[in-house]
Structure 1
Amino acid sequence: MDTSSRYRGRFAPTPSGPLHFGSLIAALGSYLDARAAGGEWHLRIEDIDPPRCPEGAADTILAQLEAFGLHWDGPVVYQSRRHEAYQHALEQLIERGLAYPCSCSRKQWQAYAVYPGWCREGLCEPGKPVAWRLRSDLARRPIYWQDRLFGEQRFDPAELGDVVLKRKEGLWAYQLAVVVDDAEQGMSDIVRGVDLLDNTPWQGQLQAALGYPVPRYLHLPLIVTREGQKLSKQNLAPALACHPDAVRLALFQAITALDQAPPADLADASPARQLEWAVGHWRPEHLRPLRERPLPEED
């Protein structure tokens, strides 16, 4: 497919803390894929869960991206300002019989692998606070797609359970918000970590139910510690440092981790020069289909 005239990609971090090296891989991979195609690269802050988003974290992320030369197109989109769009989508699903209120607590169904759908035909405990769930048994299934790195994928979302769309406390769930935003922003390509691969079936169901186009997907390998632990904010991964030497080193390591084989002398080049080289030499087909790869060794 010729993406040069229509490619729109994005980086969509949750502002639960500053970016770390694993975040850089996701940001850089999506940036290079967009720029190499002559496309747009947008930034969305997925701040729909306020308890997880400390004050100032989003501004820190923006400053880190700018320090690394990863400049985005258009205004930054904040999910916390898009409640009306998510409510409209939920109402469409309710009208089509594909979403239902659920009064069950996780404690009640914890003995099951997935939520067993007890409230599909009516609330088990009327009067209690309710979440809204997608009826995976009635929505499109199974879901097929061709991942650009991991190949053909097939999931039956019903085996994953009826995903929550809106939580009992009134907060929007990731699955609904991301699908609405990607569609309304016209995203043609989604480049993100492989830890989100099994989210794609639910998102595929929602895309079909809401009449949205299906983007292309490229799921990147995860960066893990030498003990095999996912590099994440929850695991206290160190924040990306933004002084020039640290930026040059981290960018070079990230380009290398993305299997683009940069020349050794690129390590001493400016971030702008490193990105210029990486965009010009971006070959996603060089990515190895590994689920995980270790954090680079420190100098």
Structure 2
Amino acid sequence: MPEKSAKPLLRFAPSPNGRLHLGHAYSALYTWQAARLLGGTALLRIEDIDPQRSKPEFTAAIEEDLHWLGLDWPEPVMVQSERLDDYAAAGNRLRDRGLLYPCFCSRAELMATATGTDPDGAPLYPGTCRHMDRGEQIERLERGDPVQFRLDIEMALDRTGMLTFSVVGPLVTDRPQLRYARPERWGDVVLQRKGMPTSYHLSVVVDDAAQGISHVTRGRDMEAATDIHVLLQMLLGLGSPIYNFHRLILDDTGKKLSKSRSSETLADLRAKGWTPEDVRRAVGF
């Protein structure tokens, strides 16, 4: 774990799977403003552990858009695809403690057997492979069947007990308030994916600790996922940052802006003649 910085450290961590839109602009501007209010520094991190969707040209576009907005950051930039060994080591520590188990279920099988939904509305895994005979597990692993590793949430919570973390808001300079985490709402989440030794949850926790992040600013849509991150921090012996959840930028239909829904990008707005000041005014800065 890095030596704790004398000044607060924050981060903006987009995925290079498309161009940035106004929602990203708001989150970035919010993070840099929060860093200034705290007398700290905002870092850029590139979260590119999805090899099918992440593209180098999008990484370059992210930096171009942020510089256009007038933002800068210390170099070098942390890039997740360069840190797979660190994530694998963290995951293996959990596996060695018996907290992860191999899951061979396909997406179709999960959809057919789900017992409810998680806070994001995705099917909740019923724990099918958690009860698999050890001999069958070994046989399927040796056969090379597609596998991912899930966290045994019940066993993990038995190890940690009740979990709390600190939240500030609406300003990052407000006095922190204690909040109780409820990671059991997510069920047995995947921490090591098929063909990838990590997942978003595992990577973000390892990276925040490696960079000494003191404050995490994130959208309210990530509020529930923070419970999983607090659990992993405890299991891995990592410190927990102070969290702040900001509002989301919505479209005319009231839905969150999204790359998957082809929301208008900052590049599109630039082509229309928008200036950085126009963007700042549009999102409330």
Q: Percent identity?
A: 37
Q: Which amino acid aligns with 1:135?
A: D
2:133 maps to 1:130: no
1:56-77 superposed Cα distances (whole Å, 9 cap, x missing partner): 0010000110111110123111
Q: What corresponds to 2:277 in structure 1?
A: 248
> 1:5 Cα shift?
3.3
Shift of 1:141: 4.9
| Contact 1:43 1:76 (8 Å CA) reproduced | yes
Q: 1:121 offset after TM fit, Å?
A: 4.5
CA separation of 1:195 and 1:141: change in aligned 2, threshold 3 A: farther
Larger CA deviation: 87-96 vs 211-220: 87-96
TM-score by length of 2: 0.82
Structure 2: state its 5+ residue gaps: 117-123, 171-176
CA distance in 2, matches of 1:141, 1:232: 36
**Structure 1, residues 6-49: CA drift from partner, whole Å, max 9, x if none?**
30100000111111110011111111111221211111000000
Give the alignment's Cα RMSD to 1 decimal.
2.2
CA offsets 1:169-206 (integer angstroms, 9 cap, x no match): 33521000110000011100000111111111111111
Could you list the per-position Cα deviations for residues 75-134 of structure 1 after superposition, in whole angstroms to 9, with x for gaps in the alignment?
111101101100110111112221121112232232322112222244666242210111
| Map of 1:230 onto structure 2 | 256
The alpha-carbon deviation at position 50 of structure 1 amounts to: 1.6
In 1, the alpha carbon distance for the partners of 2:197 and 2:86 equals 13
> Which of the numbers 240, 247, 255 marks the counterpart of 1:221?
247
Partner of 1:138: helix, strand, or coil?
helix
Tell me which moved more, 170-179 or 148-157.
148-157
Q: Is the 8 A contact 2:148 2:194 kept in 1?
A: yes
| Distance in 1 between residues matched to 2:187 and 2:72, nearest whole Å | 38
State whether residues 10 and 190 of structure 1, in contact with CA within 8 Å, keep that contact through their aligned partners in structure 2.
Answer: yes
- What is aligned with 2:16? 15
Whole-Å separation in 2 of the counterparts to 1:190 and 1:118: 34
Corresponding residue for residue 112 of structure 1:
115
State the alpha-carbon separation in 1 of the partners of residues 190 and 238 from structure 2: 19
Match for 2:182 among 134, 139, 156?
Answer: 156
> Map of 1:1-299 to 2, 5 A cutoff?
5-110=6-111, 111-113=114-116, 114-122=124-132, 126=140, 127=143, 128-139=145-156, 140-149=160-169, 153-170=179-196, 172-240=198-266, 241-242=269-270, 245-256=274-285
Which residue type is aligned with residue 138 of structure 1?
M
Indicate if the aligned counterparts of 2:249 and 2:283 stay in contact, CA closer than 8 A: no
Q: How many pairs does the alignment contain?
A: 254
User: Is contact 1:207–1:213 with CA below 8 Å preserved after alignment?
Assistant: yes
Counterpart residue identity of residue 213, structure 1: G
Distance 1:245 1:103, change over 3 A: closer
Q: CA deviation at 1:142?
A: 4.4
- Identify which range, 160-169 or 246-255, moves more after superposition: 246-255
* Superposition deviation, residue 218 in structure 1: 0.5
Q: Structure 1 length as normaliser, TM-score?
A: 0.79
1:261 corresponding residue in structure 2: none
State the distance in 1 between where 2:55 and 2:261 align: 16
- Mean Cα deviation higher: 242-251 or 159-168: 242-251
